[in-house]
Amino acid sequence: MDFIISFLSTPAVLLGLVAMIGLLAQKKSATETMTGTFKTIIGFLVFGVGGSIMTGALQNFNKLFQTGFNIDGVVASPEAATALAQTEFAFVTSCTLILGFLMNLVIARITPFKNIFFTTGHSLFFACVLSLILKAHHVADVPAILIGGTLLGFFSAALPQLCQPFMRQITGSDATAIGHFNMVGYALSGYIGKIFFSKHKEKTTEHINFPKWLSFFRDFLMGVAVVMLVLFYVSALKAGRDVTQELAGTQHWLVFPFVQAFTFAAGMSILMTGVRMFLAEITAAFVSISERFIPNSRPALDVPTVFPYAPTAVIVGFLSAYAAGLVGVFIMVMFKAPVVIIPAAHICFFSGGTAGVFGNSTGGWRGAVAGSFVVGLLLAFLPMVLYPVYGTLGIEGSTFPNIDYNVMGILLDKILTIFQF
């Protein structure tokens, strides 16, 4: 059981296995099969290393920002909330994860929802959300696993379908889907751009005519580095020498924000390299698998797969979503909310940045700004609804920010309340 759980919780191995099956189905030679499989695994691991580097830098930014601006509350971070959940309900969440993956394949085979979800980290987070809500309503372990696993499998196959019209527009292909549980938000961002800003569709973030002194923004990595440099130094100076030095360790406190900003940019470069490496292999392999076993299916992959199509929109979306999160903090404090949800920079970057790409595809830079701002507000306010439910289980201090977790979680909570589980 431990081996199976570990195996299914390792996206690189899982994708490598899919690539190998696809290559074998194409009757490739042993050398070609090994090369394709290993390239997929290596590419995804490179992708993961880049994401980990970026997340580490953003977590340091979170600490500086919260201390410097004296914001006290609950950080919306699924990693922390999952760690808390696993201490109490490891068996239920793990079994829900495994059943969810199997049900995803079944549902993709027998329904029009042909998406195979490969972002297993997000699947684990969603398994935790579903398990916690079911256990909060005193559902026994076996029924909780059966209900949670079935729901997880259904959402994994169905929710990417909301984004697929926009994915076709962004990528120019129907070969891949988004596998990241903010899909209600990404689709909403696309519709905001389409409904309100479609006449400005051609004025995209990628065609912004920057003044000559800002021309470096045409280079994606340069733009990321400069934006993060400003944010890190503002937060570090506001937090003060002592706090920054504690995070910096032996490094000088004024050097620390400089290195962290460029570490983030380096992580982004590594991540993009990994995306290009594994995406080509897995897409080709998946075609042969879908033809034989699940006709017309497509892999649902993590959000950085769309970053290369509108890299400037990623920066715009991140800044807009993070600004929305800060607006949310102000509103919560002003109205004395029972809990203040503090936006996590790494969540705003990946989720807000992706919303920016979707909004940009239908409404240009205006759609990118508006769509990601709305997504940022949802990331801030939706977790407030379920936070008390988790509190009944003793899980406090963190929560799950993603929109799909909360929208579907709230619906499940209401249904269980009505039927008095």
Contacts 24+ apart (CB under 8 A), 234-242: 235/61, 235/64, 235/65, 235/68, 235/69, 236/64, 236/68, 237/68, 238/64, 238/65, 238/68, 238/69, 239/63, 239/64, 239/65, 239/67, 239/68, 240/67, 240/68
Tell me the C-alpha distance between 332 and 116, whole Å: 38
pLDDT value, residue 26:
77
CA distance 236 to 283: 43
CB atoms within 10 A of CB 291: 14
**Distance (Å, rounded) from C-alpha 133 to C-alpha 144?**
9
Report the phi/psi class of residue 70: left, alpha or beta, with left for phi > 0 and alpha for psi in -120 to 50: left
> Would you give the end-to-end CA distance of the chain in angstroms?
29
Amino acid at 386: L
The answer to whether 233 and 257 are in contact (CB under 8 A) is yes
Tens digit of each residue's pLDDT, the chain (421 residues): 667 666 655 667 777 877 788 788 777 888 888 888 888 888 878 877 876 787 788 778 778 877 887 776 676 767 666 666 666 777 788 788 878 888 998 999 999 999 999 887 788 789 889 999 999 899 998 999 999 999 999 999 999 999 999 999 999 988 889 999 999 999 999 999 999 998 888 888 888 766 665 555 556 677 677 777 887 898 899 889 998 999 998 899 999 999 998 998 888 788 767 766 766 676 666 666 666 778 888 989 888 889 889 988 988 998 899 899 989 988 988 888 877 887 777 788 889 999 999 999 999 999 999 999 999 999 999 998 888 887 777 666 667 889 999 999 999 999 999 887 5
CA distances from 72 to 122, 186, 387, 397 (A): 27, 29, 16, 11
Is the sign of the CA dihedral 377, 183, 219, 55 positive or negative? positive
Six token digits for residue 408: 């579907």
In angstroms, the CA 402 to CA 385 distance is: 13
Q: What confidence tens digit (pLDDT) does each residue in 305-333 have?
A: 898 899 889 889 988 998 999 899 889 88
Beta carbons within 10 angstroms of residue 97's beta carbon: 25
Domains contained in the chain, number? 1
Angle between helices 220-239 and 255-292 (to 10 degrees): 130
Please count the other Cβ atoms lying within 10 Å of the Cβ belonging to residue 252.
12
- Chain centroid to CA 354: 9
CA neighbours within 13 Å on the CB side: how many for 266?
Answer: 10
- Sequence-distant (≥ 6) Cβ neighbours of residue 225 within 8 angstroms: 261, 262, 264, 265
- Whether 352 contacts 321, CB under 8 Å: yes
For 28, which DSSP code? -
115-117 and 74-76 beta bridge pairing: unpaired
Please report, for residues 84, 133, 392, the alpha-carbon distance to residue 395 in angstroms, rounded to integers and kept in the order given. Answer: 6, 12, 7
Query: Can you tell me the distance from the alpha carbon of 378 to that of 267, in angstroms, rounded to the nearest whole number?
Result: 27
Strand ranges inside 176-274, DSSP E: 177-178
| Four-point Cα dihedral 130, 136, 142, 146, nearest 10 | -30
- Predicted confidence at residue 164, as pLDDT, reads 96
Which domain range does residue 287 map to? 2-418
**pTM for the model:** 0.76
Q: Is 184 within 8 Å of 410 (Cβ atoms)?
A: no
